[in-house]
Structure 1
Amino acid sequence: MSKSKREADITWNYCDNVPPNRLQVKCKFCSHTCWGGIARMKQHLAGTKKDVIPCCSVPDDVKDIFVKMLKGKEKKTEDGSFDCGGDLSREVTKGKNDLQQMTINATYKNREDVIREICSCIYGNALPFNLVRSPLFIQMLKAVGEYGKGLKPPSYHEVRVSYLKKAVDNVKQGLEKYKTDWEKWGCTLMCDGWTDGKGRSLTNFLVNSPSGTVFLKSIDTSDVIKDGKKMFELLDSMVEEIGEDHVVQVVTDGASNLVAAGRMLMEKRTKLFWSPCAAHCLDLVLEDIGELPVFYNTISNAKKITTYIYRHTWVLNLYRSYSNGRELARPAVTRFATSFLTLNCIKQQKNALRSMFASEEWATSPHANKSEGKQVMNLVLSDGRFWRSITYCLKCVIPLVKVLRLVDGDAKPAMPYIYEAMDRAKEQIAENFQKIETRYKKVWKIIDTRWNLQLHRPLHAAAYYLNPR
Structure 2
Amino acid sequence: MTSNLTPSSGQDSTTHSQSSRSKTDPAWEHVSEERYGNGRRALICLYCKSITKGGGIHRMKLHLAGVKGDIGPCKLVPPDVRFRMENSLQEFVNAKKATKEADEYRNPYGPNVSQFEGDMAEGEEEVQEMQSPMAASSGKRKKSTMDKYFAPRNTEGAQPSMRGVLAGKEATWRADMAIGRFFYDACIPTNAMNSFYFKPMLYLQLDAKKEVQLLVDSYRVIWAKVRCTIMGDSWTDNRQRTLINFLVYCPEGILFVKSVDASDIVKDATNLFQLFDEVIEWVGPLNVVHVVTDNAANYVAPGRLISQKHKHINWSPCAAHCLNLIFKDIGKIDHVAELVRRASKVTIFVYNHVALLSWLRKMEGWTEILRPGATRFATTFIALKSLHDHKHDLQALVTSKFFVDSRYSKDYKSQVAVSIILDNRFWNDCLIVVNLMSPLMRLLRIVDYDERPSMGYVYEGMYRCTTFTKVGHSNIEPNRIVFWM
TM-score, normalised via structure 2 length: 0.58
Matched to 1:210, the amino acid is: P
Unaligned runs of 5+ in 2: 1-19, 27-133, 147-173, 182-195
**SS class of match (1:412):** coil
Relative to structure 1, the CA distance from residue 413 to residue 155 in structure 2 (aligned partners, 3 Å threshold; closer, same or farther) is: closer
Of the three residues 163, 167, 177, the one matched with 2:218 is 177
Post-superposition offset of 1:237: 2.4
Mapped contact 2:270–2:302 kept (Cα < 8 A): yes
Number of the residue aligned with 1:295: 336
Relative to structure 1, the CA distance from residue 316 to residue 437 in structure 2 (aligned partners, 3 Å threshold; closer, same or farther) is: closer
Relative to structure 1, the CA distance from residue 137 to residue 441 in structure 2 (aligned partners, 3 Å threshold; closer, same or farther) is: farther
Post-superposition offset of 1:165: 5.2
Structure 2 CA distance for aligned equivalents of residues 274 and 410 of structure 1: 20
The reply on whether 1:281 has 2:314 as its aligned counterpart is no
**SS class of match (2:291):** strand
**SS class of match (2:377):** helix
Structure 2 CA distance for aligned equivalents of residues 300 and 165 of structure 1: 54
Number of the residue aligned with 1:409: 449
Mapped contact 2:228–2:288 kept (Cα < 8 A): yes
Relative to structure 1, the CA distance from residue 264 to residue 48 in structure 2 (aligned partners, 3 Å threshold; closer, same or farther) is: closer
Number of the residue aligned with 2:293: 252
Of the three residues 311, 321, 346, the one matched with 2:362 is 321
What are the Cα deviations for residues 134-181 of structure 1, in whole angstroms up to 9, with x where unaligned? xx98953699xxxxxxxxx9763862xx65455434423431222222
Structure 1 window deviating more from structure 2 (276-285 vs 434-443): it is: 434-443
Structure 1 CA distance for aligned equivalents of residues 253 and 212 of structure 2: 15
Of the three residues 140, 149, 152, the one matched with 2:178 is 140
Number of the residue aligned with 2:473: 433
Number of the residue aligned with 1:419: 459
Structure 1 CA distance for aligned equivalents of residues 457 and 440 of structure 2: 14
Relative to structure 1, the CA distance from residue 419 to residue 99 in structure 2 (aligned partners, 3 Å threshold; closer, same or farther) is: farther
Structure 2 CA distance for aligned equivalents of residues 240 and 435 of structure 1: 56
Structure 2 CA distance for aligned equivalents of residues 266 and 227 of structure 1: 17
**SS class of match (1:325):** coil
Structure 2 CA distance for aligned equivalents of residues 178 and 210 of structure 1: 10
Number of the residue aligned with 1:156: 199
Post-superposition offset of 1:414: 3.4
The reply on whether 1:189 has 2:230 as its aligned counterpart is yes
Structure 1 window deviating more from structure 2 (331-340 vs 395-404): it is: 331-340
Structure 1 window deviating more from structure 2 (396-405 vs 219-228): it is: 219-228
Relative to structure 1, the CA distance from residue 185 to residue 441 in structure 2 (aligned partners, 3 Å threshold; closer, same or farther) is: farther
Structure 1 CA distance for aligned equivalents of residues 342 and 374 of structure 2: 22
Mapped contact 1:231–1:258 kept (Cα < 8 A): yes
Number of the residue aligned with 1:53: none
What pairs up with 1:67-466 in 2 under 5 angstroms?
102=142, 140=178, 156=199, 159=202, 164=205, 167-224=208-265, 226-322=267-363, 324-329=365-370, 335-382=376-423, 384-434=424-474, 440=481, 442-443=483-484
Post-superposition offset of 1:356: 0.6
**SS class of match (1:254):** coil
Relative to structure 1, the CA distance from residue 107 to residue 274 in structure 2 (aligned partners, 3 Å threshold; closer, same or farther) is: closer
Structure 2 CA distance for aligned equivalents of residues 316 and 201 of structure 1: 38
More helix, by proportion: 1
Post-superposition offset of 1:275: 1.0
**SS class of match (1:204):** strand
Mapped contact 1:395–1:429 kept (Cα < 8 A): no
Mapped contact 1:322–1:356 kept (Cα < 8 A): no
Q: CA RMSD in A?
A: 4.0
Relative to structure 1, the CA distance from residue 169 to residue 107 in structure 2 (aligned partners, 3 Å threshold; closer, same or farther) is: closer
% identical equivalent positions? 32
**SS class of match (1:335):** coil
Relative to structure 1, the CA distance from residue 244 to residue 302 in structure 2 (aligned partners, 3 Å threshold; closer, same or farther) is: same
Matched to 1:391, the amino acid is: L
**SS class of match (1:326):** coil
Post-superposition offset of 1:329: 1.3
Structure 2 CA distance for aligned equivalents of residues 403 and 168 of structure 1: 38
Structure 2 CA distance for aligned equivalents of residues 407 and 300 of structure 1: 29
Post-superposition offset of 1:207: 0.8
Relative to structure 1, the CA distance from residue 294 to residue 154 in structure 2 (aligned partners, 3 Å threshold; closer, same or farther) is: same
Mapped contact 1:244–1:269 kept (Cα < 8 A): yes
Matched to 2:142, the amino acid is: M
Post-superposition offset of 1:203: 1.4
Q: Whose RCO is larger (CA < 8 A, sep 6+)?
A: 1
Mapped contact 1:340–1:397 kept (Cα < 8 A): yes
Structure 1 window deviating more from structure 2 (200-209 vs 329-338): it is: 329-338
Instruction: Count residues with an aligned counterpart.
Output: 322
Post-superposition offset of 1:338: 1.4
Structure 1 CA distance for aligned equivalents of residues 273 and 237 of structure 2: 22
Matched to 1:385, the amino acid is: R
TM-score, normalised via structure 1 length: 0.59
Mapped contact 1:322–1:352 kept (Cα < 8 A): yes
Post-superposition offset of 1:350: 0.9
**SS class of match (2:232):** strand
Mapped contact 1:323–1:349 kept (Cα < 8 A): no
